[in-house]
């Protein structure tokens, strides 16, 4: 046992060090260049600020471990209030929502090419980044998943012949994983948030791709498994207090569904959830001073004698993106392996990883809210003006400046997401393991990873923002 404890401690420290170098932030994404606000310097020592955040997560995990009454945990997660069914109202809401979404999609592509090329006045840019990228996920994890009632591509496929081939079971949700990573890469590398024509081309290309996929494999299978945007909203919606169960809507405690065994059913689901965390982490990292200096240092190295600056920068961004994602994914699977060793149980490490993956969605939701709250506040007036008058938006749209205390809110969003994840992981472990001791021990590696996530996230939130080198 002592030798195992030493090995385990060394492995934990190694992974935390790796995550500290490559991990987590929720500072600002490429879309945030639409409304960039400087951050104030911390009023307290940075070490105290970071230690407090890490200690908060550790203390919450310790307190959760004292809750060992399975009946209490089950009753807490089974509380619900049923909402009226109203199938006719829901059906008409879906028809109206998808009709408006199809019209909006066509208008976005049209105005992307013909409308104003000022990002803060472009309906195409504002709807994409303020509405779909920022606003709708907030609705998904704070209220309930709105995407089934708004998905324009699924609405289009209802009038097309579909289902020529059966969707292969072996694909699972790997196409969605590849799709979300590709979308994030395009957002970083190409000026989709600043040049409406480029964004319109990207929207048109994505539309052709996803409609073709739905026609070939069938709408139900495609949008359930392969369409990255639909999968993203479904996972974010799992955090929400309003859930659909057996055709009826229920109000539950936020995050209660994350302890259910049917939220994550395959390794591809884990890969997608890790991609949600990593894409916010990476886009935040490269828009801090630390990230900008890293990119500048690599591009300014002797490699610049072999390749021009811009292609080398693109290669650098892409390589860091791929390596970081691989490290995040490997770290999570490794935590599952360590959890099995600690519990010495018949439950496989894969089963542990599958059951403890849904709580990570609470972390992703907290990161997203911290990431995009400022953008929503800043550009909501401009979005409203563009929607009200899409063909003739104002030349100087109203852009708000978030107050200084918004930084504190971002920190709170990160911490609340982690705290909810800690509790849901605790509930999932008690549902998975018959032994109370095994349930508690299985959480140790994941709690340590979460503490590492928190500390690095808060550290990067405390850094000044920076534009994307060579691409900004």
DSSP 286: T
- Please name the residues in contact with 450: beta carbons below 8 A apart, sequence gap of 6 or more: 57, 61, 363, 418, 421, 422
- Written as six digits, the tokens of 16 are 């935390």
228-282 pLDDT tens trace: 999 999 999 999 999 987 778 889 988 888 988 789 999 999 999 999 988 888 8
- The domain limits of the chain are 2-461
Question: Do 218 and 163 form a contact (C-beta atoms < 8 A)?
Answer: yes
| CA–CA separation, 409 and 44 (whole Å) | 16
Question: Do 192 and 198 form a contact (C-beta atoms < 8 A)?
Answer: yes
pLDDT (0 to 100) of residue 29: 36
Other Cβ atoms within 10 Å of 249 Cβ, number? 17
Length of the chain: 472
Can you tell me the mean pLDDT for 332-340? Answer: 89
pLDDT (0 to 100) of residue 322: 94
76-100 pLDDT tens trace: 778 888 888 777 777 888 889 899 9
DSSP 440: H
Q: Lowest mean pLDDT: which of 291-295, 303-307, 452-456? A: 452-456
DSSP characters over 105-141: HHHHHHHHHHS---GGG-HHHIIIIIIIIIIHHHHHH
The residue written with tokens 């978030």 in the block is: 402
145-195 pLDDT tens trace: 999 999 999 999 999 999 999 999 999 999 999 999 999 999 999 999 999
């Amino acid at each position: 046992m002592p030798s195992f404890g030493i090995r385990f401690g060394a492995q934990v420290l190694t992974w935390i060090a790796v995550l500290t170098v490559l991990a987590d932030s929720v500072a600002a994404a490429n879309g945030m260049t639409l409304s960039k606000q400087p951050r104030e310097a911390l009023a307290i020592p940075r070490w105290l600020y970071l230690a407090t955040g890490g200690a908060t997560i550790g203390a919450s995990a310790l307190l959760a471990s004292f809750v060992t009454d399975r009946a209490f945990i089950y009753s807490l997660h089974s509380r619900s209030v049923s909402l009226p069914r109203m199938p006719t109202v829901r059906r008409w809401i879906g028809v109206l929502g998808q009709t408006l979404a199809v019209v909006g999609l066509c208008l976005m592509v049209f105005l992307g090419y013909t409308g104003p090329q000022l990002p803060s006045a472009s309906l195409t840019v504002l709807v994409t980044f303020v509405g779909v990228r920022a606003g709708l996920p907030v609705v998904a994890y704070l209220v309930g998943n709105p995407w089934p009632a708004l998905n324009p591509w699924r609405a289009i496929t209802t009038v097309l012949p579909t289902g020529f081939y059966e969707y292969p079971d072996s694909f699972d949700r790997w196409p969605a994983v590849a799709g979300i990573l590709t979308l994030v890469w395009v957002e970083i590398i190409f000026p989709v948030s600043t040049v409406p024509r480029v964004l319109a081309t990207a929207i048109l290309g994505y539309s052709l791709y996803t409609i073709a996929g739905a026609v070939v494999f069938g709408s139900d299978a495609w949008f359930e498994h392969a369409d990255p945007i639909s999968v993203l909203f479904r996972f974010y919606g799992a955090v929400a207090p309003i859930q659909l169960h057996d055709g009826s809507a229920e109000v539950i405690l936020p995050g209660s569904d994350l302890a259910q065994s049917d939220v994550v059913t395959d390794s591809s689901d884990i890969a997608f959830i890790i991609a949600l965390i990593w894409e916010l982490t990476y886009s935040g990292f490269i828009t801090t001073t630390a990230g900008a200096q890293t990119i500048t240092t690599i591009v300014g190295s002797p490699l610049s004698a072999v390749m021009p600056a811009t292609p080398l920068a693109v290669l650098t961004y892409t390589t860091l993106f791929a390596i970081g994602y691989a490290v995040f994914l490997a770290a999570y699977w490794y935590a599952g392996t360590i959890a099995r060793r600690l519990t010495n149980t018949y439950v496989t490490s894969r089963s542990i990883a599958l059951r403890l993956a849904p709580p990570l969605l609470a972390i992703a939701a907290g990161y997203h809210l911290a990431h995009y709250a400022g953008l929503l506040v800043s550009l909501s007036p401009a979005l409203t003006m563009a929607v009200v008058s899409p063909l003739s938006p104002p030349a100087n749209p109203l852009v708000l400046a978030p107050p200084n205390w918004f930084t504190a809110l971002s920190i709170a969003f990160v911490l609340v997401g982690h705290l909810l994840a800690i509790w849901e992981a605790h509930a999932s472990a008690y549902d998975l393991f018959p032994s109370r001791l095994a349930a508690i021990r299985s959480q140790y590696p994941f709690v340590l990873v979460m503490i590492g996530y928190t500390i690095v996230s808060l550290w990067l939130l405390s850094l000044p923002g920076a534009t994307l080198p060579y691409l900004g």
